[in-house]
């Protein structure tokens, strides 16, 4: 799926790994020890902020999604923000609670999420992968270098790590060459809660965005690691990605993108349990709107679809 290089969209809720502390002993039930962290980040002229709360096996993220990236005539960036959202994960309930703080609405879904059924996959246009090649078609080399530089960050020692991830297409590949350099500072804090998905040690992740109409065989990646992979939590990080993308006429254009994040606050101390509860007066709904409309036409079309769905449910 091709996207215009002038359009940039970011979902702030998915940019960060979550910071989870170890449980403490002898804590009160109403204000047990936890962590509050504020993180700022930006990319392609856009910026945002996310606040993370953690206490034991509960976590909460407050954020706003944004879309835009097109440049106005005066040189400024056209950015549209969505509503204020809070995402609460409760391992004790086996739920994720998603709250629209502006509309005072929330929805509850199982966590960890249940796998899609065949019918749900078909409804979302997701097709099972087929025709996966027998030999690797994509080489992904990751080189991790510890610069031996250290600095203190709110009582934690942070180390300076530079990671280079190079993607090289092999015979039969559908991907483009790409290189991403991550220059970051990391601290050692346990970032897991009991209901999060557990990844085997040494596991790799590879994500490929494909159109539902793309019938080409997916790439089979081969991973090569040089140096010890960094597993800490990033308190500062700058990612520079260089690659190419295909134009409608078949030509290729080089591109360079940069994204940055910085943890601007880290407080360790009591956190009230109410932070992880749905406030009184919030209405439970089946869908929470988290993203801003692209423009008024898109907003009208989306509202019309939702209206028709509500009317159809009245006659079910």
Per-residue pLDDT reduced to its tens digit, 19-33 = 333 333 334 446 788
At 213 the pLDDT is 58
Tens-digit pLDDT profile for residues 43-58: 877 788 999 999 889 9
Whether residue 12 lies inside any domain: the answer is yes
Average pLDDT, rounded, for the chain: 80
Residue 150 lies in a domain: yes
User: In the prediction, which pLDDT does 216 show?
Assistant: 66
Q: Is there a domain that residue 215 lies in?
A: yes
Quick one: 22 exposed, middle or buried, by C-beta within 10 A (0-12, 13-18, 19+)?
exposed
Q: Is residue 3 part of a domain?
A: no
pLDDT beyond 90 at 151? yes
8 Å CB contact between 213 and 276: no
- Please report, for the chain, how many H helices and E strands are present, in that order: 2, 16
Q: What's the pLDDT at 130?
A: 58
Identify whether 144 is part of a domain: yes
**pLDDT tens for each residue of 49-90:** 999 999 889 999 999 988 776 667 776 667 788 999 999 999
Phi, psi of 276 (to 5 degrees): -105, 20
- Please give the Cα distance from 2 to 249 (Å, whole number): 12
Residue 294 maps to a domain: yes
Cis amide linkage into residue 112, ω under 30° from 0: yes
Of the candidates 260, 216, 252, 255, the residue with the CA atom closest to the CA atom of residue 235: 260
- Please tell me the total count of domains within the chain: 1
Element (H, E) at 312: helix 296-314
Q: How do 46-55 and 66-71 pair as beta strands?
A: unpaired
User: 3-class DSSP state for residue 27?
Assistant: coil
Specify the pLDDT at position 200.
Answer: 75
Q: Give 93 or 127, the one with higher predicted confidence.
A: 93
Q: What is the pLDDT of residue 125?
A: 66
pTM over 0.95, yes/no: no
257 domain residue, yes or no: yes
Q: Is residue 1 part of a domain?
A: no
Segment (H or E) for 271: strand 252-272
Q: What is the residue whose two structure tokens read 């601007």?
A: 264
Please give the residue range of the domain that contains residue 49: 8-314
């Amino acid at each position: 799926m091709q996207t215009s290089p002038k359009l940039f969209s970011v979902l702030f809720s998915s940019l960060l790994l979550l910071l989870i502390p170890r449980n403490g002993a002898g804590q009160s039930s109403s204000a047990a020890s936890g962590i509050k962290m504020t993180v700022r980040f930006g990319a392609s002229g856009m910026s945002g902020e996310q606040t993370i709360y953690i206490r034991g096996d509960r976590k909460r993220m407050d954020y706003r999604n944004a879309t835009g990236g097109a440049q106005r005539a005066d040189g400024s960036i056209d950015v549209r923000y969505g509503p204020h959202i809070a995402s609460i994960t409760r391992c004790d309930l086996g739920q994720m609670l998603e709250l629209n703080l502006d509309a005072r609405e929330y929805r509850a879904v199982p966590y960890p999420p249940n796998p899609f059924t065949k019918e749900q996959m078909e409804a979302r246009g997701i097709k099972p992968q087929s025709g996966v090649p027998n030999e690797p078609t994509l080489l992904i080399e990751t080189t991790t270098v510890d610069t031996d530089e250290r600095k203190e960050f709110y009582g934690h020692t942070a180390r300076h790590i530079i990671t280079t991830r190079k993607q090289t297409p092999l015979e039969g590949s559908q991907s483009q060459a790409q290189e991403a350099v991550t220059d970051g500072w990391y601290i050692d804090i346990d970032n897991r809660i009991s209901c999060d998905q557990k990844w085997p040690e040494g596991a790799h992740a590879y994500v490929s965005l494909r159109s539902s109409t793309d019938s080409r065989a997916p790439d089979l990646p081969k991973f090569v690691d040089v140096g010890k992979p960094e597993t800490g939590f990033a308190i500062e990080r700058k990612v520079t990605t260089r690659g190419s993308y295909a134009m409608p006429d078949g030509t290729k254009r080089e591109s360079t993108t940069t994204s940055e994040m910085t943890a601007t606050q880290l407080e360790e101390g009591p956190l009230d349990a109410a932070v992880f509860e749905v406030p009184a007066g919030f209405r439970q709904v089946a869908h929470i709107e988290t993203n801003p409309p692209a423009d008024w036409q898109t907003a009208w079309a989306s509202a019309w679809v939702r209206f028709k769905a509500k009317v159809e449910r009245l006659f079910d």
